[in-house]
Each structure stands twice: as C-alpha cells, then as structure tokens.
Amino acid sequence: MNLKRLLVNLGLLCYGAVSLQSSFAASDPQLDPDNTVYKRMVTQGPATPFIETLYKCPVTVANHRLSSVGKITATDGTVIIVPAETALQKGLGPKSADLYSECAQITPKNASEVSAKDVPVVVVDPDGEVITGYIVADNYYEMWVNGKLVSVDNTPYTPFNSAIVKFKVKRPYTIAFLLVDWDEHLGLGMEQFPVPVTDKTSQWYPGDGGLIAKFSDGTVTDSSWKAQTFYIAPLNDPAEVVEKGNVHDTPLKGRVHPFAKKPDCKDQCFAIHYPIPANWQTKRFNDLNWPRAWEYTDEDIGVNSLPAYTRYPELFSGARWIWTQNLVLDNVVIARKTVR
C-alpha cells in the first residue's frame, strides 16, 4: 500500500470513529485501545433541553413523566447529550413488545396470562435458535445482539414497563444493553417528582437504576455480566469519583437507597462522564477489562411499586437485578454478556 493510500485509509478510519462517537461532538475521546482507561469529562449545573419528551403516554396513568433530552458542555469543551443519546431518540430498531405497559393497557395479572406468540422474531443468524426473553429496566434499555439492535424500550422513563423480546441466534453470541436511569434535572442526575409535595428533597431526588432479564436458553442477568458506567451524578465534588484502573467508583457515597447520601448542591451539582466507546454493541468489542456487574436485591431496587416485574416471578426466576457499583449515582450503564 502506498503512502497516499495509507493516509486516505487512516482518514476514513478516523472519520468512522468520529461518526460513531456522535454523542460527543467535537471531542477527542482518547480511548485506550483495550478499553482500560477512559478520559473523564466534568460538567457542572443543568443541561439545556432540546427534546421535550421522547414518549407521550396516550392514556392517563398515575406516573407519567416526560423523557426529556438535553445538551451540556463539559469543562474540556465536549458537548454531551444527557441523560444519553439513545436508539429511541434516533428512531432506530424495533420498539419493544409489551410484557406490561399501563400506557398500552397491556397489564396481564400473572404469568399464565402472558403470551409471547405474537412477538416478532429478530433474525441475527438465519440458522440460529429462537430465544424468548423478558426484560425489566429502570428506566430505559436498548438491547443489541452481535451488533444488531433487537429491542428498544418503548417507554424511556415512566410509567415502569416491561418487555418481551424474541431473536434468532447461534452460540456464541453477545448481548449488549445500553441502560439509562432517566431524570428531569438533565445533567444533574436528579428527579423532580411531579406531584405536589411537602418534602422538598423530592424536588432534587437522585433516582436509581436496575436491569433484570431472563432468556429461554437459560441466560439470566447476574454478576457474570460486565457492566461499565458512563455518567455519574449528582456529585458535590468531581473528586467523589475515584478511578481504580477501569473501575469508576464512588466509594464514600453509599451504593443504594437509603444509604446513598443526598447531595445539597442542587443546580450546582457536578457530573462525571466518560465517552461511550465505539462498537460497544458488537461481539468483538473487548470488555475483558470492564468490571463485573453488581447484583442487587428486590429490596435494593424497591420493587413494591413495580408490578411490571412483581406480577411475573416465574418469568424472572433465577435472574438477578444488575447494575454497576452504584445503583443511584451511575446513570448510564452498558452491560454485556457473551453466551457460549
């Protein structure tokens, strides 16, 4: 290959990397090639909303909250989309089929009323086996198999919903979830409860996340998965995030409610972001150095207000709730598992 051709190819490679990194416009993410070290980006204060909501519930329900999207500029000049740039926002992929959705008025009383027969099969490998899965995510998920988008959560924030997915694939295959704990105080990682409240802390409330999924081939979410965090907030001080190799930890903050300390910084809070690596959805992406997922209990998650999950214990038996090391402060998480 002559020098000119080499330079052209390098240019194309760089162009490809930048376009895949579109959620970090004008950034130089400086990703380590083995995904060991990410450059942290710091923001302070609220983001500027540019989408009022990604979803509107067509019927009146108790807990419908707007899924807004905003932009914020980090101290290094990087423009970051919060809470995340999603497949839902881009209009990609098949929307999730409902296991439980108040907005779609699909609310089976128990597992015996659930049927997956009309759920379309997404073909990853034409000669693969058809796998059925059940998914609950607090609040948004998009699920990729071998780099193919197989299901996009149709309800990004609330009310809490759950989904059925069907895909056809051959082993070994890799599942990759992008997960978002949504909120109203964009850029600050805090919720604002819509109901009139006397307790002022509920106007600045750090919400929490969680994912549980079970598949018909025996695959379940548990600590054998990898999970990495890309957006940590709210923080009183960026120094509260401590990087140990590839672990982005918040060791002094408390990992679940009610132990998570509520910051008093309100609209002055900080957030730490890390660039989403290119090709995180694919089979060949190297997650060897990513931390293992942490498992959480029903009590940690607070499932009492989650009929989308509690009505169907049979569909989730053996699966564990997973997230990264902080269920409250880690707001954008990628979880991956290679099924062999």
Query: Is residue 138 involved in binding Ca ion (CB under 5 A)?
Result: yes
Query: For Ca ion, which residue of 151, 155, 174, 250 counts as binding (CB under 5 A)?
Result: 155
Give the residues across from 65 on adjacent strands. Answer: 158
Helix (H) or strand (E) holding 169: strand 162-169
Query: For Ca ion, which residue of 85, 102, 153, 300 counts as binding (CB under 5 A)?
Result: 153
Q: Are 80 and 23 in contact (CB under 8 A)?
A: yes
Closest contact distance (angstroms) between CB of 104 and Ca ion is 12
Q: Does the CA dihedral 162-188-296-340 come out positive or negative? A: positive
- 41 vs 99, beta carbon nearer Ca ion: 99
Query: Is residue 142 involved in binding Ca ion (CB under 5 A)?
Result: no
- 29 vs 263, beta carbon nearer Ca ion: 263
Residue 338 tokens, joined: 């290679």
* Residue 306: other Cβ atoms inside 10 A: 18
d(CA 270, CA 237): 6
Residues binding Ca ion: what is the number (CB under 5 A)?
A: 8
- 78 vs 155, beta carbon nearer Ca ion: 155
Query: Is residue 287 involved in binding Ca ion (CB under 5 A)?
Result: no
Closest contact distance (angstroms) between CB of 212 and Ca ion is 12
Closest contact distance (angstroms) between CB of 232 and Ca ion is 9
Q: Are 183 and 271 in contact (CB under 8 A)?
A: no
d(CA 206, CA 300): 14
- 207 vs 263, beta carbon nearer Ca ion: 207
Residue 84 tokens, joined: 């995340």
Binding range to Ca ion, per CB under 5 A, among 166-174, 239-247, 265-273, 328-336: 328-336
- 122 vs 190, beta carbon nearer Ca ion: 190
Residue whose CB is nearest to Ca ion in the complex, by number: 207
Three-state secondary structure of 272-317: EECCCCCCCCCCCCCCCCCCECEEECHHHHCHHHCHHHHCCHHHHC
Query: Is residue 139 involved in binding Ca ion (CB under 5 A)?
Result: yes
Give the residues across from 71 on adjacent strands. Answer: 48, 81
Residues 159-188 that bind Ca ion (CB under 5 A): 161, 181
Closest contact distance (angstroms) between CB of 161 and Ca ion is 5
The residues of the shown chain that bind Ca ion, judged by CB under 5 A, are 138-139, 153, 155, 161, 181, 207, 331
